Amino acid sequence: MALTPSLRVAIVGGGMFFDDIIGQTFKDFMRGGIAPGLSSIGMSHMAPHVAQVKIEPVAIGTNSPKSGTAGKIAAWFAHDFPEQPVKAHYGPTVWRDILREHKPDVLFVATPDHLHAQPILDALEAGCDVITEKPLCLTTGEVDAIIAASERTQRVVAVDMHKRYDPFVREMMGKARQKYGPINRVRAVLEEPLEVSTEIFAWAEQSNPFAYVGCHWLDVVHHYLQVKPTAVFATGQKSLLLNWDKHHVEIARRKGRDPATFKRRGPIDTWDSLDVAVTYHDGMRGDYNNNWINPAEFEGAVNQEIEIYGIYGRGFVDQQDRGFRETVTGDGTRTRNPTFGGRIHHKGGNLEVFGYGKASVVSGALAIIRRRILGESLASLDGTYPTAASQRDVVRVIEAAGLVAQKNYEAWKAGKGTPVSARLHDNGIEVVGG
């Protein structure tokens, strides 16, 4: 009897959406394989070829044993799949222990933004394929190293760029040039709640709101419009988080909350918000506005919208307008977004997740199956998932925006306005002005 083909998956990092999206997606894979999710990415014709592939998580690793996160996740898997143990590991370079002990086929990287590159590189050298949370990394040097390693090892590096699979965004952006003609401008907003930067992430100083969520809109614009960035201008604000030692007290007073209950009470040296203007090779302008200080009382989990202007028309996708609202005593009016991570409780107790959050993971897993099990070439899969190479310009804009915003902030404090911008060349970033 032929052996059933399988992918052994290890996960490093708990991730903000682990229980809601990442972990639940792997539970769905364990129950039914990848085939049921293929229609969400327009690849259902591949179902007969991949339906028998088993996907088996074998290890989970997080940094500190004090938090117990890895153990909790392992127990969470064991609750539904006691016959398929997932081993918990801890340590600052926990992925290396996992790669050495388990020799997985796939490493899923859900570490903080600034800690993606090394696990990815180590996994590739160990013969693993990779699915990583966004952003791929934060510097051009890192992205070039990852692209080179992926090409040298002929392993997949898939990035969880789930906005690419949002059905509303996909419908608008996929037909934008056909409907709206030459594009003049794109305006994109994605705002995260204040608790992300003050309570959920201990590493907010190591990243910024543009890198964290602006990367989604950069990916959407670059992927669907096939534009190349040539110049970047950026400014940012440091009012709330840098003075968090004072402002959290006033916020606590307004909420009727004890200030001592905030996880972080000292200054947080990162951007409240970043406003980034990108000029593309064809003259198109992209305006990206991102923050992670949106009040918890805002009706949606996030505020997200994208608007595209062409010479013959325009399109607009707004999360609150296309979502549904409900009002619950004690919770107020809230906008829900089941198209990202909807949940179905089946008769008998099984839970299944659907939506574009899952679709992005499906696209990466399918690419790995096609490369690793079906023997397709890495080159033949290009364009079927968010590749490392597709993220090079995303990362370069992120890096340039950070450099420019900091220099403009310093110039503004010195009373010199905001005179700095950057030119993007294939081999580097040239900061000009100031």
User: For 230-256, how does the pLDDT look when each residue is reduced to its tens digit (9 = 90+)?
Assistant: 999 999 999 999 999 999 999 999 999
Distances (CA, A) of 47 to 29, 31, 36: 13, 15, 8
Per-residue pLDDT, 322:
85
| Terminal C-alpha separation, the chain | 70
Residue 423, CB-side half-sphere exposure with 13 Å CA sphere: 6
pLDDT range class, residue 1, cuts 50, 70, 90: very low
pLDDT confidence of residue 20 = 86
Compute the residue count for the chain.
434
* CB-facing half-sphere around the CA of 234: CA atoms within 13 A: 31
**Mean pLDDT score of the chain, rounded to an integer?**
95
Instruction: Tell me what pLDDT residue 335 has.
Output: 92
pLDDT (average), residues 41-56? 97
Query: What gap in Å lies between CA 352 and CA 368, rounded to an integer?
Result: 22
How much is the pLDDT for 3? 63
- Tell me what the mean pLDDT of segment 310-330 comes to: 93
* pLDDT more than 70, % of the chain: 99
Check whether 223 has a pLDDT greater than 70. yes
Let me know the angle formed at the C-alpha of 372 by 371 and 375, rounded to the nearest 5 degrees: 60
Instruction: Report the alpha-carbon distance of residue 283 to residue 377 in Å, rounded.
Output: 35
pLDDT tens digits for 93-113? 999 999 999 999 999 999 999
Whether the per-residue pLDDT at 220 is higher than 50: the answer is yes
Q: To which H or E segment does residue 409 belong?
A: helix 392-413
pTM of the model: 0.96
Q: Each residue of 293-308: pLDDT tens digit?
A: 999 999 999 999 999 9
Spatial distance between the Cα atoms of 334 and 329, rounded to a whole number of angstroms:
11
245 and 267 in contact (C-beta within 8 Å)?
A: yes
pLDDT at 434: 74
Name the least confident of 46-60, 320-334, 384-398: 320-334
Looking at domain 164-337+395-402, its CATH superfamily turns out to be Dihydrodipicolinate Reductase; domain 2 (3.30.360.10)
Write down the domain spans for the chain: 6-161+341-388, 164-337+395-402
- Spatial separation of the C-alpha atoms in residues 243 and 251, rounded to whole Å: 12
Fold category of 6-161+341-388 in CATH: Rossmann fold (3.40.50)
Q: How far, in Å, CA of 421 to CA of 234, rounded?
A: 7
Query: Would you tell me how many other CB atoms lie within 10 Å of the CB of residue 29?
Result: 24
What is the rounded distance in angstroms from the CA atom of residue 270 to the CA atom of residue 204? 7
